[in-house]
Amino acid sequence: MSYTWVDYYKNRGTKPRSELREALPYITTGTNALDLGCGAFVESRYMLEKGFSVVAVDPEISLSLYLDDITNDNFTFECVPVQNFDFPKNEFDFVCANYSLPFVTKRKHRFIFDSIYESLRPGGIFAFQLFGKYDQRNVWWRNSLCFHSEDEIMELISKFELVDFDEAQHFTKLAGGKQNFSHVYRVIVKK
């Protein structure tokens, strides 16, 4: 039996990611947020609690199960892949893509980064993670995930101002319980 997103959402827990908590203090322009590849709305809920308006995007149909108790009027969910999302221009103060861009076809990344840039207000923040080439998932799941070099990431963010760039390599347990050598770039940039 293969591990599905439904299993992942169940195992993910309810604690917002440190990557989100680290990015929030850099946001100074307003409270409009876009959560790309939002999963089970853990980070979206946290941002709503902090007073943000949130647009959440993810193509996974099973996520409707997690929507019932989100009654905040400042929340919208669009069940589409990020490459099909109609990015509004000059709209967001914060865009996050927490561990979702590695699941998007690499050839769409240029278009997605340009669209994010256009959708941010001047001074807006974008926080994301991408997997590096040495990540063990590059052996197991090389056809369904994408992996980047530092140079490739620098090229993708060339229009932005770099705020924080962290490269980490260590053993971790994945949400499915599998031991993995992880190679992850954690990046925060500003328009």
Ligand X SMILES: C[S@@+](CC[C@H](N)C(=O)[O-])C[C@H]1O[C@@H](n2cnc3c(N)ncnc32)[C@H](O)[C@@H]1O
The residues binding ligand X (CB under 6 A) are 5, 12, 17, 36-39, 42, 57-60, 81-83, 98-100, 103-104
Nearest distance in Å: CB 17, ligand X: 6
Beta-carbon contacts of 83 under 8 Å, excluding residues fewer than 6 positions away, are 104, 105, 108, 111, 112
The residue nearest ligand X at its CB is 39
Is 38 or 95 the residue whose CB approaches ligand X more closely? 38
CB proximity list for 80: less than 8 A, separation 6 or greater:
57, 59
- CA pair distance 111, 93, nearest whole angstrom: 19
Report in angstroms how near the CB of residue 5 gets to ligand X at its nearest.
Answer: 5
> Shortest Cβ distance from residue 112 to ligand X (Å)?
9
CA gap 151, 153 in Å, rounded: 5
CB of 145 to ligand X, least distance (A): 10
**CB of 83 or CB of 138, closer to ligand X:** 83
Measuring CA to CA, which residue among 92, 74, 97, 87 is closest to residue 20? 97
| 123 vs 182, beta carbon nearer ligand X | 182
* 178 within 8 A of 121, measured Cβ to Cβ: no
Nearer to ligand X, 29 or 83 (CB): 83
